[in-house]
Structure formats: C-alpha cells, structure tokens
Structure 1
Amino acid sequence: MPLNELAVPERVTGERQVRRKLEAGRLAKLFIAEDADPAMVGPLEKEARRQDIPVERVSDMVRLGRACAISRGASVAGIER
C-alpha cells in the first residue's frame, strides 16, 4: 500500500472535501479506510469508479489519518489533480 502518495500538498482529507473535489472532477486517486461507514464512503467509491479514478483500500482510519498527517482517523482521502 503506497500511502506515501498522500505526503503531498495536493491531498484532501475527509468526506466533505473529497466529495467536493470528486464532484468537480479534480480527484486523481481515492483512498478509503476499510473500517469507514459504508453508507458514507459507498457513494464516493461508486462515483470514483464511474469517473475511472483509482480507488485504494487502507486497513483502517487511524492509518489513513496518519498518512495524511492528521492527529485523528480519516475515513477517506484523495489526491487532487
């Protein structure tokens, strides 16, 4: 799992920011935590796949949050185009 991809300034973290970038067509890759609420991340994953954006699963929210350099868990994150 190359989570070091998230060590860039172009990353977005959290459902709201990711959704906005996805709707604007400005997301290059989506990361989803395995333990995230499926009702929340399901529509994001579906839209990403519709737009042919790569989706990568991460083992848990804490690990995804650390990769994004935040002090709490993150359910989703992305890399902006």
Structure 2
Amino acid sequence: MSYEKVTQAKEIIVGTKQTVKALKASKVNELLVAEDADPAITSKVVNIAQEFHIPVTYVDSMKQLGKTCGIEVGAATVALIY
C-alpha cells in the first residue's frame, strides 16, 4: 500500500506550499495525493509534479495520509524524499 512509502521515506513534506517549493527545487522523488482532497488545491501541485516528471500516486484519504505522517489533521499532498 502507498501509505507504507511514507514510513520508508528519508524525509516527508506535508502541505501544498512546502511541497510546491520542494518540487521546484527538484528535491522530491514521489508525490502522494489524497483522492478525497479538493482538486482546486491538489491540481496545481500535481501539474508541477508532472512538469518535473515526478511520479504521482493517489491514496484513498486525507485523514489516513495525515495520520500516517503523524499529524492530527488531514493531508492533501505529501512529498516523499528518498
């Protein structure tokens, strides 16, 4: 399951603003996107990831993605650095 990738990553970046910065700095190896997140929020990040040829993996829920990252709130996007 994709959530396991979070625990295997050397570093994770939670949140769209920080994720966009990391993508533009070519630091990200993979992007996780919650399917239940607002497309208005995630589409910009996904487009940038595709521009930089970063693989995008969709996961079921923001709540589970946030929990996997160790935060109390949902996460729309998480950047993985290996």
TM-score, structure 1 as length reference: 0.90
* 1:9 Cα offset (Å): 4.5
Listed as ranges, the gaps of 5+ residues in structure 2 are none
After TM superposition, the structure 1 = structure 2 runs for residues 1-81 of structure 1, keeping only pairs within 5 Å, are 1-7=1-7, 8-80=9-81
SS at match of 2:22: helix
Q: Secondary structure at the match of 1:57?
A: strand
Q: Distance in 2 between matches of 1:76 and 1:2?
A: 13
What value does the CA root-mean-square deviation take over the aligned residues?
A: 1.3
Contact 1:35 1:61 in 2 (8 A): yes
TM-score by length of 2: 0.89
Q: Cα offset for 1:32?
A: 0.5
Q: Structure 1: any 5+ residue segments left out of the alignment?
A: none
SS at match of 1:30: strand
